[in-house]
Amino acid sequence: MSNDRAGSVNGSELGIAAEIGGFLADCGARNLSPNTVGGYRRELAMWLAWQEAQGIPTIEGLTPQCLRRWMLQLGTTRSPVGVHGSYKVIKAFLRWVWREHELPWRNPIARLQPPRLPKEPLKPVPLDDLRAMVRACDGATHDGARDQALLLALLDTGCRVGEFVALNVADVDKSGRTVVRHGKGGKSRVVFVGKRTRRALSRYLRLRGECSPDAPLWADGSGMRLAADRLRGILRQRAEAAGVDAPTPHSFRRAFALTCLRQGMDIYSLQRLMGHADLTVLRRYLDQTQGDLRETHRRAGPVDNLS
């Protein structure tokens, strides 16, 4: 360790574990959403365990090389998107530490380039697979009716998985307006469901029986809220019954975005419905296939549209 890092704050070193606690407390004080804070906590706990196993328990011991080794380690078990997500969390944490303590040496993460994200289009759930999964549900039972409504609502709203499982009964009204109260960054927004999804929701709620407006919308047979892992399990179960590949919850969001675009929705309305602050992330959802581009040219090509 170089001399300029020794005894950096009041004659003592900064423990990574204690600084993570301070960072999470600051996130709470800034009223970040529980989902955001929980994600930070999980990512930083895994990183901390790895750092301590490497014999680097302090901020002063961090180097660009040890951060790169963590990214390489993650790459053996995660997709490039997952590695990029961890990089962003660690970057946010270390930037907070440097601001909080006004450290005099350079932040080691400043020397790292962010992991490159794949450029290929994100894959949506195939709509034929979705139809088969809906047909595989027995709509006369509580779980079957719930899962039919759940599958249709995932596609119809384009919600993130955390937003989706956080919905309460009162968040959906008879007109199809759905209020997402726990959006990314703590922002709420309004999304919508169509007639077919509303009918499926009504059938599910009738079979479920009377429940309070504050009850979770997506619940098991005992009325307990479905967790995100349980939702993923339902998707795997229904895909297996339908004989199709199991989709992820996020692939429904991708299908929502691409289907809306193909049906003529303008990009700014789509941005608001998906809860994106800008168009940067949305572009990855909307990389069009050659077939999409060919159809767009057929409708709008300048020569064929000459009067």
> So what's the pLDDT on residue 3?
44
CA 225 – CA 214 distance, rounded (Å):
11
> So what's the pLDDT on residue 182?
61
Q: Domains plus CATH for the chain?
A: 3-111 (1.10.150.130), 127-290 (1.10.443.10)
Rounded to the nearest 5 percent, the helix, strand and coil shares of the chain are 60, 5, 35
CA distances in angstroms from 133 to 84, 99, 152, 218, 280, listed in the order given: 32, 50, 10, 18, 32
> So what's the pLDDT on residue 9?
57
CA 53 – CA 257 distance, rounded (Å):
42
Q: Which residues contact 12 (CB under 8 A, 6 or more apart)?
A: none
For the chain, residues with pLDDT lower than 50 are 1-3, 7
> So what's the pLDDT on residue 140?
92
Q: In one letter, which amino acid is 96?
A: W
> So what's the pLDDT on residue 117?
74
> So what's the pLDDT on residue 152?
96
> So what's the pLDDT on residue 275?
85
CA 207 – CA 192 distance, rounded (Å):
23
> So what's the pLDDT on residue 278?
67
Question: DSSP state, 71?
Answer: H
The model's pLDDT over 118-144, given as tens digits with 9 standing for 90+, comes to: 666 668 899 999 999 999 999 999 999
The model's pLDDT over 205-244, given as tens digits with 9 standing for 90+, comes to: 999 988 888 999 999 988 899 999 999 999 999 999 999 9
> So what's the pLDDT on residue 267?
81
pTM score, whole prediction: 0.65
Q: What is 229-276 written as a DSSP string?
A: HHHHHHHHHHHHHHTSPPPPHHHHHHHHHHHHHHTT--HHHHHHHHT-
> So what's the pLDDT on residue 265?
85
Phi/psi at 173 (5° precision): -105, 175
